[in-house]
Structure 1
Amino acid sequence: MSVSSSTPAAVTTAAPVVIPLSRSLVWLVGTAAFAALLYYFIGIDQGAVSVFGADAHVHEFVHDGRHFLGFPCH
């Protein structure tokens, strides 16, 4: 014997998330600055002419990744 319910199932709708423009700009600027810094370290930093000096060894840390991504060095 089956029992059927006559009450309809509750329907929920998703409400959009509203982010204020000022907060969006902070995230956009922060992300762009991080991306530019990452691009510098992986694509431009050459060790001997590094902004941080030749003893920072950032070039050697990202050396294999740099070749994998197609950036020339040496």
Structure 2
Amino acid sequence: MAQTIAPPATGTAAPAPLPLKAIAPWALFVGVLMLVLLYFIGAEQGATSVMSGSDVHEWVHDGRHLLGFPCH
């Protein structure tokens, strides 16, 4: 039985990490978006209401309960 020896694997360089300058704008955008969503789910009701009526409250009602925000 013949055995073949595989040639040694050539080392491949690991990809360079992303620079912080490339990630920072996206991280800021996602952070602001999450804060806006948290506001609409948690506080868009009553004295801090930005939109009149209860439409936003009704749209996110189940999410409020899921996240532990009291609403009634």
Provide TM-score, normalisation by structure 2: 0.74
Shift of 1:9: 5.0
Q: How does 1:17-32 map to 2 (within 5 A)?
A: 17-32=16-31
Which ranges of structure 2 fall in alignment gaps of 5 or more residues?
A: none
Which ranges of structure 1 fall in alignment gaps of 5 or more residues?
A: none
Q: How does 1:1-74 map to 2 (within 5 A)?
A: 2-10=1-9, 12-13=11-12, 15-46=14-45, 49-54=48-53, 57-74=55-72
Checking the alignment, whether the CA contact within 8 Å between 1:47 and 1:59 is kept in structure 2 is no
Tell me the number of residue pairs that the alignment of Structure 1 and Structure 2 aligns. Answer: 72
Identity of aligned residues (%): 47
- Higher helix proportion (structure 1 or 2): 2
Provide TM-score, normalisation by structure 1: 0.72
Tell me which stretches of 4 or more aligned residues in structure 1 moved more than 4 Å.
11-14
Identify the range of structure 1 (17-26 vs 4-13) with the bigger mean alpha-carbon deviation: 4-13
